[in-house]
Structure 1
Amino acid sequence: MNFRVDIEMTPEELRRALGLPDVASLQQEMIAKVREQMEAGAEGYDPLTLLKPYLNNGIGSMEAFQKLLFSMMNQYGSSKRDTD
């Protein structure tokens, strides 16, 4: 037996439904800082060092999310093979 559910929602609605934070203001702030540094023409400027404090916290969460999705796909695939 198969069920199919189609849900139409905007990315904003999906973000809220999943409980993800609104990072639009953070993104704008980061872009403004990068633009400021680029306009200043800082010698030896490395954008990664500017973004590193923000990225360190988010990467672990993204890896955990990817592992969760991967385990869900593996479970679905193994249960599918068992029923066939």
Structure 2
Amino acid sequence: MKITIDVDCTPEEAREFLGLPEVKPMQDAVMREIEQRMLANLKATDAETLFRTWLPAQMQGLEQMQKLFWSQLTKGDREPGSGRE
């Protein structure tokens, strides 16, 4: 013997009938928070912001490289046989 029962109701009606809690307000709040965080992170990845963040480190590296080159050049000028002893 096989019995089939078709229930025609909305998800809200089924949730209420079964005594399950309404989670839509909580889901909406969580989605708003996620959206705000994502937008804040997108603003942080703006090209101008990234450029300002990365530039000081790159400039420091360039300055160190220049100092290294200059130290090697001046070191070569002071060695015997260079004509500038």
So what's the TM-score if we normalise by structure 2? 0.46
The structure that has the greater radius of gyration is 2
So what's the TM-score if we normalise by structure 1? 0.46
